[in-house]
Chain A
């Protein structure tokens, strides 16, 4: 067999199995040209290993770490907003609750708001330029009390206080980790 056949085997000597290496050794023992090339390849391997002993170092490790951490932060934040199912469903539930509250409020059923304010004002002071704002607020508030709003207020207060015993709110708080 000619030397061209062996050349690839010589360059890939380290990758050969024991039998193949034995075959190359056998040929190199009788062929000066291939023996010389095998020596070259082995020297080359030693030099490459020597060159690989030193590894390129990061010019500024701290700066590189900060650059990496900086480039992952915004992407992750965006993702976590989308991925947080509880936050998403919680906000959707809150929106629905507000719409329901608005519908139960039925502002049209109470007539004109101006009328309510006027009737809330005590008659004796109707002509006074100085309004009793306290009375006005109390009267307005009184007018706005409905069973639905009371229930909402109860829930809202319950969310803020740990000693609340409302089962629905407790369940909600546990899930939202409030």
Chain B
């Protein structure tokens, strides 16, 4: 247990929400609003982070999270305990985000023109580390904006959410080969962007 992990636990910076007891999910599935509120409170930060990484836009991310939980509520009676709730949420959010990105291609460039990091959780460290982190996040996000919706989905789930290829192919209903192929193109594009940033030493915020 390192100092960082203690900090992350204290300030709720874990990437994954604590799994709920099956009883709370069962209660929520039976229509218990109180239980569902608990589920929303424990999972909305996770859902928002995923949606924001997909869309690069706070407003879109909130809309998607709201719609995702409404869908979850409507279909919670179909919940099977052998599937992780987070996997299910990933699937709903990924589908909603892909629909949004595909229907409105101009949205892809939106986060590039209005990078707003003010609401991001500050990781522990010196101000320099913070600036570095912000620049890096901005660069990764700008690079992600240049990807196609499917490439972005694969990149977000595999490289940012750090899911396995099997999980990504399950969530996106794609073959593992298709996931890898999209991942290759995505990494190549993101790599070019990051390389430019690091080779030229032109840091946008310094």
Contact B69 A68 (CB under 8 A): yes
The dominant DSSP class at the A interface is: helix
Q: How far is the CA of A166 from the CA of B53 in the complex (A)?
A: 65
Let me know if A67 is at the binding interface, CB within 8 A: yes
* Nearest CB of A to B193, in Å: 10
Contact A76 B66 (CB under 8 A): no
**Size range of the interface on B?**
35 or more
Given A11-B184, A47-B194, A50-B136, A58 contacting B33 (CB threshold 8 A): no
Interface flags for B44-58 (1: CB within 8 Å of A; 0: not) read 110011001100001
Q: Which residues of A contact B (CB under 8 A)?
A: 8, 11-12, 15, 40-41, 43-45, 47-59, 61, 64-65, 67-69, 71-73, 75-76, 80
Contact B40 A12 (CB under 8 A): no
Contact A52 B160 (CB under 8 A): yes
Contact B190 A61 (CB under 8 A): no
Interface stretch of the complex, out of B78-86, B88-96, B102-110, B118-126? B118-126
Other-chain residue from B15, B183, B190 in contact with A55 (beta carbon distance below 8 A): B15
Other-chain residue from A8, A40, A49 in contact with B195 (beta carbon distance below 8 A): A40
Contact B69 A44 (CB under 8 A): no
Given A54-B121, A61-B45, A71 contacting B66 (CB threshold 8 A): yes
* Nearest CB of B to A156, in Å: 32
* Nearest CB of B to A17, in Å: 11
Other-chain residue from B36, B48, B184, B194 in contact with A12 (beta carbon distance below 8 A): B184
For A70, the closest partner residue in chain B by CB is B66
Q: Which residues of B contact A (CB under 8 A)?
A: 13, 15, 31, 33, 36-37, 40-41, 44-45, 48-49, 52-53, 58, 61-62, 65-66, 69-70, 73-74, 119-123, 133, 136-137, 139-140, 159-162, 165, 180, 183-184, 187-188, 190-191, 194-195, 198
Q: How far is the CA of A61 from the CA of B47 in the complex (A)?
A: 12
* Nearest CB of B to A87, in Å: 14
Contact B73 A12 (CB under 8 A): no
Other-chain residue from A45, A50, A57, A72 in contact with B48 (beta carbon distance below 8 A): A57
Q: How far is the CA of A69 from the CA of B41 in the complex (A)?
A: 10
* Nearest CB of A to B204, in Å: 14
Residues from chain A with a CB closer than 8 A to the CB of B48 are 56-58, 64
Residues from chain B with a CB closer than 8 A to the CB of A54 are 120-123, 133, 137
For A76, the closest partner residue in chain B by CB is B31
Residues from chain B with a CB closer than 8 A to the CB of A73 are 33
Contact A15 B165 (CB under 8 A): yes
Q: How far is the CA of A12 from the CA of B49 in the complex (A)?
A: 25
Residues from chain B with a CB closer than 8 A to the CB of A8 are 184
Residues from chain A with a CB closer than 8 A to the CB of B162 are 49, 52
